[in-house]
Every structure is written in C-alpha cells, then in structure tokens.
Amino acid sequence: MTNACAVRKAANVARRYWLFKSEPETFSWDDLEAAPDRSTFWDGVRNYQARNLLRDEIKSSDGVLFYHSNAKPQVIVGTAVVVRPGSPDPSQFDARSKYFDPDSKADDPRWYGVTIRADRRFKTPVSLPVLRETPGLEEMMVIKKGARLSVQPVSAEAWKIIVGMGTKSA
DNA sequence: GCCAACGTTGGC
DNA sequence: GCCAACGTTGGC
C-alpha cells in the first residue's frame, strides 16, 4: 500500500476517478511510460473548470483514465494514478513556454497541475465508439456532445466497467 | 480539412 | 453586465 493510499484510508476518503485527455502527438501513453518513474507533471491546462479540479479535487491515489484525443480512433489506452496533488504549474511563469501566462502572479498562481504515474496499459484500448455503445456509460461526460473539458470526473461505476473491458484480453 | 460547440475577450 | 466576435477544441 502506498503511503498516500494509507493516509486516505485513515481519513476514510473514497478514491475518486478522472479522465485526462492528451493528444498523442503532444504527449502519448508511450511518452508517459518512457518518462522517469513512469511519471509526469500534467501541465498546460488552461481552462478554469479543469484548473479547479486539478487544484482542489484531484488527490493522491486517485485513478486516471488516459485518453488519446485527436487520434484515430480516440481511445482510452490505460490507467494512471495520481502521485502528487495540485501544485502551481511552473510553465505559466516560463516566458519561453507556449503555456506562459504573463498575467499570472507568482504569489497567486492561476494554473495548477498534478503528477500522475502510468499504472496499467490496456490490453484492449477502449475506443470512443465502444464507450458510446456500452450500457452503463451513458452519463459519461466524454461521450456527450461538445464535452471539451480536458480533465473530467469519472464515476466509480464507469471506472469499473472501463477497466474491466480494457484489461480483458481481446 | 471542416465546422459545431464552447470558453474567453473586450467594447459598450 | 451584456453579448458579439474571436480563438480553440475535437469529433467526424
């Protein structure tokens, strides 16, 4: 049991689940697996709704569905785990970064990110069309029209269904 | 490559 | 505070 997990169990806080979108050409599942400690700081989110989740809601040991957007097809390729909760996103203060935000103050950072570590690569990636036709997932945000949020909440029920499909051999 | 949906900006 | 214009996202 990880330390964060033990802390959470002691506090009796339920583990929660999320879906993170990434364009594979920018940062793919393979990139995450190849990263030091199979981990990365999830930077560059510049949407207030997603920011609020990253800053306030997403906690260590939470589960993450890693989703490839703008891919053919769009798929959930695996699961990751949150290993560090929200902290200020350094790229907002880096003038050379494309995520630079000149209006963000060092003593009052506007943008946050979390650190995730690759957990399980799906044997069977779960595509968007499959999500759409799977009973029990009708309420998922990612299948709703115009759902552009790059960090989305996922119910425990949906998590269970999707991980079940993804880890099963084809 | 298109374009609908959405979030943000900025003039008033 | 409204809302038109604009830029971006992301499915198709």
Domain ranges of chain A: 3-167
Nucleotides, chain B, CB distance < 7 Å: 5-8
CA–CA dist A130, A17 (Å, integer): 19
Q: How many angstroms is C1' of C8 away from CA of A166?
A: 31
Q: Does at least one atom of strand C sit less than 7 Å from the CB of A21?
A: yes
Assign domain A3-167 one CATH number from 3.30.360.10, 3.10.590.10, 1.10.10.60, 3.40.50.300. 3.10.590.10
Q: Measuring from the CA of residue A51 to each C1' atom, give the nucleotide at the shortest distance.
A: B7
Q: Does at least one atom of strand C sit less than 7 Å from the CB of A164?
A: no
The pLDDT score that the predictor gives to residue A15 is 92
User: pLDDT by residue (tens digit) across A10-56?
Assistant: 566 789 999 999 999 889 999 999 999 999 999 999 999 999 999 99
User: pLDDT by residue (tens digit) across A69-84?
Assistant: 988 889 999 999 999 9
Residue A35 · residue A69 · CB < 8 Å? no
